[in-house]
């Protein structure tokens, strides 16, 4: 991966680690549960997207770092809740026991709640101009609510055991998966004070990347090795979920991933220097975990 991507990833890693360094509070157990999932690893794709779109739009990536970390906190909240027994009831996440398996269900629930709140506190406490902070907070709220993660998760759970159409599945995943990727990209542009052309391109890239990411995820749930993937495989089929693999099979799914990846890259033509964004789209299209 690009050297700049690694610099962003390490910067996000360091900032998140510092955010959880303080202890000595009556609620240390909650902080421990929050830190456990936030620092569990991962590529930090979403915050790195925020920072690279900020740079591509002419902004200061150091000033945008709190916004990028906010995206990761909200993403982590969604993973903790997604794994809960009342949701997908998963035992592993990134090769480690899920939050509720380590800390108990009610602590995991509160850890997710707290991470979502702290995400907005990071944005509002940043040194960005007020207009940029407002735009970033608005984008993240939209990605988290009924038009985003929560709405998508509702559609996902209510669709268990039902045969969904392509339109229903696409609507579900555009909220559950793509909405936060779109927000991550657009928040970078907002942090830079970028114009509508940059915002539109960021939205197109994020939506196409998100759709391709989910289709690839569905493929990996059936085809990947559990040790390499870091979470159980075959869980979607076991729960009776309709996936893109259910509808189309491996070959057509890969064709869809390739088409969406090309669409994402084409959207970047508006930027004078899109940096590692085209390469990232290609990498995600062939990821194995």
Tens digit of each residue's pLDDT, the chain (289 residues): 589 999 999 999 999 999 988 899 999 999 999 999 999 988 999 999 999 999 999 999 999 999 999 999 999 999 999 999 999 999 999 889 999 999 999 999 999 999 999 999 999 999 999 999 999 999 999 999 999 999 999 999 998 888 899 899 999 999 999 999 999 999 999 999 999 999 999 999 999 999 999 999 999 988 866 655 555 666 666 667 889 998 999 999 999 999 999 999 999 999 999 999 999 999 999 988 7
Long-range contacts of 110-113 (CB under 8 A, 24+ apart): 110/30, 110/33, 111/30, 111/33, 111/34, 111/36, 111/37, 111/77, 111/80, 112/76, 112/77, 112/78, 112/80, 112/81, 113/77
In whole angstroms, what is the distance from residue 119 CA to residue 75 CA?
A: 9
In whole angstroms, what is the distance from residue 147 CA to residue 260 CA?
A: 21
Among residues 217, 221, 220, 258, which one has the least CA distance to residue 239? Answer: 221
Give me the helices (H) in 45-104, please.
Answer: 45-56, 61-83, 99-103
pTM for the whole thing?
0.94
Which CATH number describes the domain made up of 3-285? 1.10.600.10
């Amino acid at each position: 991966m690009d050297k700049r991507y690694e610099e962003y990833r390490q910067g996000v890693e360091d900032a998140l680690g510092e955010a959880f360094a303080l202890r000595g509070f009556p609620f240390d157990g909650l902080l421990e549960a929050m830190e456990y999932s936030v620092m569990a690893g991962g590529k930090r794709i979403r915050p790195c997207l925020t920072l690279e779109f900020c740079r591509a739009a002419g902004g200061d990536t150091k000033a945008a770092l709190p916004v990028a970390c906010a995206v990761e906190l909200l993403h982590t909240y969604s993973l903790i809740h997604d794994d809960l027994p009342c949701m997908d009831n998963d035992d592993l996440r990134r090769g480690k026991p899920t939050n509720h398996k380590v800390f108990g269900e009610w602590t995991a629930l509160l850890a997710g709640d707290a991470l979502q709140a702290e995400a907005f506190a990071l944005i509002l406490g940043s040194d960005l101009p007020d207009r940029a902070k407002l735009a970033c907070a608005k984008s993240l709220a939209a990605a988290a609510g009924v038009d985003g993660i929560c709405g998508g998760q509702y559609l996902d759970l209510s669709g268990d055991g039902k045969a969904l159409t392509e339109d229903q599945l696409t609507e579900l995943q555009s909220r559950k998966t793509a909405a936060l990727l779109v927000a991550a990209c657009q928040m970078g542009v907002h942090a830079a004070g970028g114009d509508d052309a940059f915002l539109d391109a960021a939205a197109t890239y994020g939506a196409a990347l998100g759709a391709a990411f989910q289709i690839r995820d569905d493929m990996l749930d059936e085809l990947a090795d559990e040790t390499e993937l870091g979470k159980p495989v075959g869980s979607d089929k076991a729960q009776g979920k309709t996936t893109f693999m259910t509808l189309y099979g491996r070959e057509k799914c890969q064709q869809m991933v390739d088409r969406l990846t090309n669409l994402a890259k084409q959207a970047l033509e508006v930027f004078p220097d899109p940096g590692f964004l085209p390469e990232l789209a290609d990498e995600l299209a062939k990821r194995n975990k």
